[in-house]
Amino acid sequence: MCNFAPLMETVLHLISAGIMIGILISAPMGPIGVLVIQRTLNRGRRKGLATGLGASLSDLTYCLLTAFGLSFVNEFISENRTVLQLAGSLVLVVYGIYLLANNPRKRVQLPAAPAANGTFLRDFATGFLLTFSNPLILFFIIGLFARFNFLDLPTTWVHYLLGFVCIAVGAMGWWFGITYLIDKIRGRFTARTMRRINCAIAILVLVMAGVGLYDSIMQLLEMYRP
């Protein structure tokens, strides 16, 4: 019974961290976010959602590749947890500032291209390939893994499977939510709305980075306190 509480704490951490990682990977209004919104506005929610789900599969693939790559240095991660959390938080700070400075209105003119007769599978493949063609997302994923201590837990493959399922749930949940919202406010949606969404996401990233920086700095001070 005494081992049940730590196990539940680990499981809850993996669930919450996985969902947050999935959302934060998907949420920024980069090219794929713009494409999902364009397709939702011009071709309907099904088309936009198919594109977003393809992007989610690509994000999950990169998360798995990152995890398998980092598994070779698990001992290093365990021994430098606080430093890696600090580094991950700094990555999020840089990314949050980039999102604030980035203006998605420059990449899209609403309304977008005229409607086209694409299949669900074709839209899904487009979302996957467009996202997968940007390997730089690996650095963002590493930062998120470090920030949430996602791989630095004494768990079995079953727990990690749960964590990666939650990443998929978070990513897909974002696209379900954003396409639903865009579809509902279709007549009132503008490029300025997209800019506001991007700023809100940037602020959320910066807040989480700030919390991570504070925690890691406090831990470092405690470690080196005479």
pLDDT for 19:
92
Per-residue pLDDT of the chain (226 residues; tens, 9 = 90+): 446 666 677 788 888 888 999 998 887 766 788 788 878 877 888 888 999 999 999 999 988 888 777 655 555 555 666 776 777 777 778 777 876 776 655 554 444 444 445 678 888 988 888 888 777 787 788 778 877 877 665 567 777 788 889 999 999 999 999 899 888 877 676 667 777 777 777 787 788 778 778 877 877 777 766 6
Residue 175 to residues 25, 90, 180, Cα–Cα distance (Å): 11, 27, 8
> Cβ neighbours of residue 124 under 8 Å, at least 6 residues apart?
50, 51, 53, 54, 57
Q: Which two tokens stand for residue 129?
A: 């390939």
What does the pLDDT read at residue 81? Answer: 66
DSSP E strand stretches across 77-147: none
- 29: containing domain: 4-223
Domain tally, the chain: 1
Q: Which two tokens stand for residue 171?
A: 């990513």
pLDDT of the residue at 5: 65
User: What's the distance, Cα to Cα, between the start and end of the chain in Å?
Assistant: 37
| Cis peptide bond N-terminal to 111, omega within 30 | yes
Cα–chain center distance at 219: 26
Secondary structure element (H or E) that encloses residue 78, with its range: helix 74-79
Q: CB within 8 A of 122, min separation 6: which ones? A: none
